[in-house]
Structure 1
Amino acid sequence: MEDAQNVKNLPGKHGTTRYLTRLIDQKRQVANRNTACPPSLPRPALLSCDEYPFASTWQGASTGGGNYSRRMIDAKQNSAGGGALGGFYLYNRIIESDKFLVWIK
């Protein structure tokens, strides 16, 4: 994410006003995921494709106009990160079109 924000200049960086906005629609989320990480993309053993901006945002690969980043990362870490993002949405009551930023520690 840090590379996507700093090198590719993608939105969502903490300390800016270039927000990410929450997307609830499951079909659009799938379209975002499939654009950034199509099923045909080879995945090395124990790795999975991860996209930024998140598929659950309007800035995702499909709904955001195609400006995105993807990387192969450890599959367990990717799954844990997705769970953490879902927890963030729930805990902070982030609903459709709510704006938020990503703070990378």
Structure 2
Amino acid sequence: MSEHAENGDIEYDADTGIYRTTYDIEAESLSVRVLEAVAAIRNVDPTDLDPLDEYVDPDALNSIFGPTATKAGTHGSLSFAYEGLLVIIHSDGEVELREEV
């Protein structure tokens, strides 16, 4: 069963314990999207979170998954721990977040 976190664009799958959201690198900053998603899951203001750059370089994150001249054949993912969550970013625009164990 899928439930929604307070932020309507984050879905929670109770069976797997995974939160899912998407990003559009053409329209938003990926690093900001990660902050917003984590804040929504933790039910806090994004400014109350630890600085993201203590865990991952936000500029590098935006650059790695940013727009390129051609997206053909590009795929991959990157994961890092942040605020007790494992954050997994996929090049297809999906972001998974799950509690660290």
> Which interval holds the TM-score relative to the shorter structure?
0.3 to 0.5
Larger RCO (alpha carbons 8 Å, 6+ apart): 1
Higher strand share: 2
User: TM-score normalized by structure 1?
Assistant: 0.32
User: TM-score normalized by structure 2?
Assistant: 0.33
